[in-house]
């Protein structure tokens, strides 16, 4: 997928700030790509961007209207459709992370079929993929892995991309999930591909390269999550990472949504990922640990990072609180 930027972020009539997480992510990591926001009501959550009508957006060079909100069920509300059709009629592409496909809206499909606009359903995958082969590819790759889902794998990858770029290292984020794809405008939703093609999808996402230094690949799930571990293993093999970053939320009691499923220890997570990753890259190593320490106060968090850093002989940080410079500096030595 290749979504044209800059964006107009569409917030619909969503009033719950949590529902605008995707839009916030885009603004945080790609502020230069966000020319403005479009809200249907006064009460709708705001990202603090310039309010633009569709016409103003078009005039200012916006290429794509992005649905930057989520809702339970993933259906596109009927009162949003009018705006989407109006945007498409102005020639704006539309990108959506909703479960319901944009291509299910006949007016949009018609314009897309005429080649006037493009529709991007980032939660789905219609690309033809090849089966992975695990052959060594040139270029250095980093993959974020985790003890579970939703422990900061995307955030850490984007933070590491940014920190490396600030050290003048040419690093490129590679998105594997819908939010990451909307942020970067590119990527493959690996959990949406047919199971046979998981590693092949990642090989296509991060092919051989020698024009930059690092691909920073967003991880998904966990080898220990009984719902999604297949995706995580295929992603690990396809990424053939040189460097792994372990992500973990301090204080999590069990696998997300599954009270009966135990969280692995840090040691188990490190060992299982190294063992599996060696199948496609015998030289793989861990290069850092990113913690979500939000349940701790700042000094306890600092102390924990310090302590684990000695225990695991790796840079350990909370990317939100302390940044990832320590990890970026280590990566420069690899």
Q: Which is nearer to a copy of itself, 5 or 269 (CB)?
A: 269
Asked whether position 135 contacts a copy of itself by CB under 8 A, the answer is yes
Residues numbered 177 to 216 that lie near a copy of itself (CB under 8 A) are 190-200
C-alpha span between 221 and 227 (Å, rounded)? 9
Q: Which is nearer to a copy of itself, 69 or 220 (CB)?
A: 220
Query: Binding marks (x or -) toward a copy of itself, 268..307, rule CB under 8 A?
Result: ----x--xx--xx---------------------------
Among 31, 42, 114, 260, binds a copy of itself (CB under 8 A): 260
Asked whether position 141 contacts a copy of itself by CB under 8 A, the answer is no
Instruction: Identify which of 38, 44, 9 has the alpha carbon closest to the alpha carbon of residue 26.
Output: 9
Q: Which is nearer to a copy of itself, 6 or 177 (CB)?
A: 177
Q: Which is nearer to a copy of itself, 180 or 238 (CB)?
A: 238
C-alpha span between 134 and 244 (Å, rounded)? 17
Total number of residues that touch a copy of itself (CB under 8 A): 41
Query: Binding marks (x or -) toward a copy of itself, 235..254, rule CB under 8 A?
Result: x-xx----------------
Instruction: Identify which of 81, 232, 264, 207 has the alpha carbon closest to the alpha carbon of residue 153.
Output: 232
Q: What is the 3-state secondary structure (H, E, C) of 100-125?
A: CCHHHCHHHHHHHHCCCCCEEECCCC
Which tokens in the block code for residue 58?
């078009």
Q: Which is nearer to a copy of itself, 37 or 232 (CB)?
A: 232
Asked whether position 131 contacts a copy of itself by CB under 8 A, the answer is yes
Show the CA angle centred on residue 151, arms to residues 278 and 75, nearest 5°.
110
Among 224, 244, 305, 314, binds a copy of itself (CB under 8 A): 224
Instruction: Identify which of 38, 56, 55 has the alpha carbon closest to the alpha carbon of residue 47.
Output: 38
- Kindly state the DSSP code that residue 186 receives in the 8-state scheme: B
C-alpha span between 110 and 107 (Å, rounded)? 5
Instruction: Identify which of 182, 205, 216, 170 has the alpha carbon closest to the alpha carbon of residue 6.
Output: 182
Among 134, 140, 186, 309, binds a copy of itself (CB under 8 A): 134
Return residues touching a copy of itself (CB under 8 A).
131-136, 190-200, 223-224, 226-235, 237-238, 255, 257-258, 260-261, 272, 275-276, 279-280
């Amino acid at each position: 997928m290749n979504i044209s930027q800059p964006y107009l972020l569409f917030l619909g009539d969503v009033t719950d700030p949590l529902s605008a997480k995707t839009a916030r992510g885009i603004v945080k990591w790609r502020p230069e790509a966000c020319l403005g926001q479009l809200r249907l009501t006064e009460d709708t959550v705001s990202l603090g961007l310039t309010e633009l009508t569709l016409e103003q957006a078009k005039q200012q060079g916006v290429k794509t209207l992005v649905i930057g909100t989520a809702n339970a069920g993933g259906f596109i509300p009927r009162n949003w459709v009018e705006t989407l059709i109006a945007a498409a009629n102005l020639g704006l592409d539309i990108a959506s992370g909703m479960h319901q496909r944009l291509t299910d809206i006949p007016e949009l499909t018609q314009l897309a079929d005429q080649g006037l606009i493009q529709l991007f359903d980032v939660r789905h995958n219609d690309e033809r993929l090849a089966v992975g082969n695990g052959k060594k590819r040139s270029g250095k790759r980093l993959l974020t892995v985790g003890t579970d889902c939703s422990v900061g794998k995307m955030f850490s990858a984007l933070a590491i991309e940014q920190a490396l770029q600030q050290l003048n290292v040419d690093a490129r984020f590679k998105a594997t999930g819908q939010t990451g794809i909307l942020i970067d405008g590119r990527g493959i939703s690996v959990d949406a591909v047919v199971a046979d093609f998981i590693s092949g999808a990642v090989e296509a996402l991060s092919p051989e390269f020698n024009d930059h230094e690092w691909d920073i690949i967003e991880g998904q799930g966990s080898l220990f999550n009984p719902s999604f571990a297949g995706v995580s293993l295929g992603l690990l093999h396809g990424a053939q990472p040189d460097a792994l970053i372990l992500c973990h939320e301090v204080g999590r009691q069990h696998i997300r949504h599954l009270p009966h499923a135990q969280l692995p220890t840090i040691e188990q997570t490190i060992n299982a990922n190294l063992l599996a990753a060696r199948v496609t890259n015998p030289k793989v190593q861990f290069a850092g640990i990113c913690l979500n320490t939000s349940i701790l106060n700042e000094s306890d968090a600092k102390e924990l990072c310090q302590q684990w850093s000695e225990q695991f002989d790796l840079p350990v940080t909370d990317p939100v609180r302390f940044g990832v410079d320590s990890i970026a500096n280590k990566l420069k030595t690899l």
